[in-house]
Structure 1
């Protein structure tokens, strides 16, 4: 009779080369793998402050309860993991790609002052309490598509590289989002309460976003305080690329560039409020011919 060796759902795939491939934690429904055996640790705070290292797991020791000495990891994957308590990744330096797809944070998720050198995936993650992503740096894409923020009042300030993707994300409480990025994508994003998007440099796509409460998109004129220097240069003006399918009755745009924005299918454009300095497309030049009246 062939034995089943199916990997339990929610367990993180362990790289064969522990030392070079970095972080590998085995967590399923509040359990952790220590020395080859799953041990129940309900409500325990998982701390990876200043580092998230596989060395503790590799040697069979529990994940450190205090700061670790080596502040870096290679690729780190946490797909379908449920953190039973607070998850603390403050000051962690992820030197490779990091995946938190379909992760459930049942406690506070702390990523303050962390740095992601590779791509970061938080797609379909659920944050049931605070999600501390302040003073954070994403050198490459930051994917939060389909993520659910149930009680997080802030996202940022953070520096992103090419893309911050919030498409199909759900924000259940009033939230302030502060981001410097090349592009902020909010396709079919749903805000169930008021939202303030304070952005720098970004091209913003709000196609089919669900806006039911007062929503503000503003160019933040000065760098966010206590943030590391970014590679962005020039004017930080936010460029709106699409309001396709959006009900703009609750939308306020401040100091934005609308010269290339698509308005097709937008609702209540007569109630769209523009504040500050708004840039529009230039008037076409050249000779305009009119047909002669008979």
Structure 2
């Protein structure tokens, strides 16, 4: 369709038309005609009359539409408008709401770069070609729910800001991205969350780096191998499907990966600040446009170069996840729930990933600390194990549902194998300790087995506490020396020192002739036999404990 002309060869341009001629110009509008409103300040009434002039069967239809640097003083309602040609809102400013619900953009160019939009709504909008929102600024609730992006969707450098004093959500729920989805260095101010629930990314290989207080990626389907880079305080990937795998690079976030599907080789990586990382450099407060809040505090402290592991993300749940193809690197697993996950023994744990630590308790005057699962902490709190365990539960979060000791023993056994396969013997030793602890406390454990396990724990910490084994040896030697001094020697007159030397030698020596012709009473012989049995046993347990701690 030919453009509507004001003068020969000149397309319609209200920005440069006298007020007296506006009525005549609007009367000449036709569906599909070109409209040039560059730099025009549009009231709601004027916009309504422009769109009314291009209606076809009740639907506004525009050809090439140029709204570059236009100012929309009132609510701008482009709902159900069809843009058939090149559409340009470059640098446009929407001072009130911007409604594009069910709008259709059919042209090869859709340009919203550097635009400033308030309460923008693109529900069920369809973009048949590339659309560019680079460096645009969105104020207030922004909705792209169920929008269709057939070409590239570019939001690089966009900013999302909240309504003053109110939490705000940027919604891409149910949106479909068929091509490139460029969210590079998109920053949302504090109190702003970005929600992609139910969206689909058919071929995007990169999403982010994107920063927001919270990012929700629940039930999203990624059709291609993708790298997702997020800076946030909370990330939710519940039931997310990664059909070809994912590299999920996180900073600060507590990430919930419950029932996520990792069909291809995947990794969850903590992104440390430094050269060549996703968030290098970190955004400034000016970029993020916030002064307070959880995310603001983290970024501010992170930029201060304090020696803290602020950057390390925390995985809070792996329930229901098949871990066969997953690698976790440089992440905090101290809050992670593993119950219900499958193929835990195939999980690869690398870098500076860490688990929860026991609060430390005294056994025979020795403090014993180890790595453990958050679910064990929750279980011990249910047994009222004291203030130290309750404090640790508060640190990692008390919302976990404690599994049974039998289930915990299975989890520890699988994680032990995973650590052994990664050649991390000290880590495997801690999980072996946890497995034995759960077996000892399990109601299904037989009484005789529980007694053996309790003795094994008491004298050597399941063969993992060298100091406890040596202390057990020392106590055995001391008690045996007292016994021999009182009734063990046939010849009277031997002092306690001689008894101590004799029992020590019996504990560590295999050659009794070293002790000469000392004659023992029959109770003394029983004591000597006991010492000869326990001494090598405790020494062996001590050596095994040391080996388990230093072996790689």
TM-score between the two structures when normalised by the length of structure 1: 0.79
Match among 338, 341, 345 for residue 263 of structure 1: 338
Q: What are the Cα deviations for residues 27-54 of structure 1, in whole angstroms up to 9, with x where unaligned?
A: 46xx14xxxxxxxx0xx45444444647
Please tell me whether the aligned partners of residues 158 and 227 of structure 1 are also in contact (alpha carbons under 8 angstroms): no
Structure 1: how far apart are the matches of 2:350 and 2:183? 29
Structure 2: how far apart are the matches of 1:266 and 1:148? 25
SS at match of 2:227: strand
Q: Tell me: CA distance 1:284–1:151, structure 2 relative to 1, closer, same or farther (3 Å).
A: same
Structure 1: how far apart are the matches of 2:126 and 2:283? 31
Match of 2:312 in 1: 237
Q: What are the Cα deviations for residues 198-240 of structure 1, in whole angstroms up to 9, with x where unaligned?
A: 1100000000001111111001101613563252235110100
Match of 1:77 in 2: 121
Please tell me whether the aligned partners of residues 89 and 115 of structure 2 are also in contact (alpha carbons under 8 angstroms): no
Match among 232, 248, 251 for residue 200 of structure 1: 251
Whether 1:133 and 2:186 are equivalent positions in the alignment is no
- How far is 1:65 from its partner? 7.0
Match of 1:220 in 2: 271
Root mean square deviation, CA, Å: 3.0
Q: Tell me: CA distance 1:278–1:180, structure 2 relative to 1, closer, same or farther (3 Å).
A: same
Please tell me whether the aligned partners of residues 109 and 130 of structure 1 are also in contact (alpha carbons under 8 angstroms): yes
Identify which of structures 1 and 2 has the higher relative contact order when contacts are C-alpha pairs closer than 8 Å and 6+ apart: 1
Please tell me whether the aligned partners of residues 73 and 95 of structure 2 are also in contact (alpha carbons under 8 angstroms): yes
Match among 199, 207, 223 for residue 155 of structure 1: 207
- How far is 1:195 from its partner? 0.8
- How far is 1:158 from its partner? 1.6
Q: Tell me: CA distance 1:266–1:24, structure 2 relative to 1, closer, same or farther (3 Å).
A: same
Please tell me whether the aligned partners of residues 51 and 89 of structure 1 are also in contact (alpha carbons under 8 angstroms): no
- With 91-100 and 230-239 compared, the bigger mean Cα shift is at 230-239
Structure 2: how far apart are the matches of 1:51 and 1:228? 25
Whether 1:169 and 2:220 are equivalent positions in the alignment is yes
By percentage of residues, which structure has more helix? 2
Structure 1: how far apart are the matches of 2:110 and 2:265? 42
Structure 1: how far apart are the matches of 2:112 and 2:177? 24
SS at match of 1:257: coil
Please tell me whether the aligned partners of residues 111 and 132 of structure 2 are also in contact (alpha carbons under 8 angstroms): no
Structure 2: how far apart are the matches of 1:211 and 1:186? 11
Match of 1:13 in 2: none
Whether 1:285 and 2:380 are equivalent positions in the alignment is no
By percentage of residues, which structure has more strand? 1
Match of 1:112 in 2: 156
Please tell me whether the aligned partners of residues 126 and 149 of structure 2 are also in contact (alpha carbons under 8 angstroms): yes
Please tell me whether the aligned partners of residues 92 and 115 of structure 1 are also in contact (alpha carbons under 8 angstroms): yes
Aligned length: 260
Match of 2:425 in 1: none
- With 231-240 and 247-256 compared, the bigger mean Cα shift is at 231-240
- How far is 1:109 from its partner? 0.8
- How far is 1:282 from its partner? 1.1
- How far is 1:80 from its partner? 1.0
SS at match of 1:141: strand
Structure 1: how far apart are the matches of 2:159 and 2:220? 22
Please tell me whether the aligned partners of residues 24 and 54 of structure 1 are also in contact (alpha carbons under 8 angstroms): no
Match among 66, 72, 86 for residue 130 of structure 2: 86
Q: Tell me: CA distance 1:255–1:50, structure 2 relative to 1, closer, same or farther (3 Å).
A: farther
Consecutive unaligned residues in structure 1, runs of 5 or more: 1-6, 9-17, 33-40
Structure 2: how far apart are the matches of 1:105 and 1:260? 37
- How far is 1:67 from its partner? 7.3
Q: What are the Cα deviations for residues 105-132 of structure 1, in whole angstroms up to 9, with x where unaligned?
A: 1111111111011321000000011111
- How far is 1:134 from its partner? 0.5
Match of 2:46 in 1: none
Structure 1: how far apart are the matches of 2:74 and 2:363? 66
Q: How does 1:173-192 map to 2 (within 5 A)?
A: 173-192=224-243
Structure 2: how far apart are the matches of 1:149 and 1:265? 28
SS at match of 2:268: strand
Please tell me whether the aligned partners of residues 74 and 95 of structure 2 are also in contact (alpha carbons under 8 angstroms): no
Q: What are the Cα deviations for residues 59-99 of structure 1, in whole angstroms up to 9, with x where unaligned?
A: xxx9997678x842210111111112221111110111110
Q: Tell me: CA distance 1:259–1:78, structure 2 relative to 1, closer, same or farther (3 Å).
A: same
Larger radius of gyration: 2
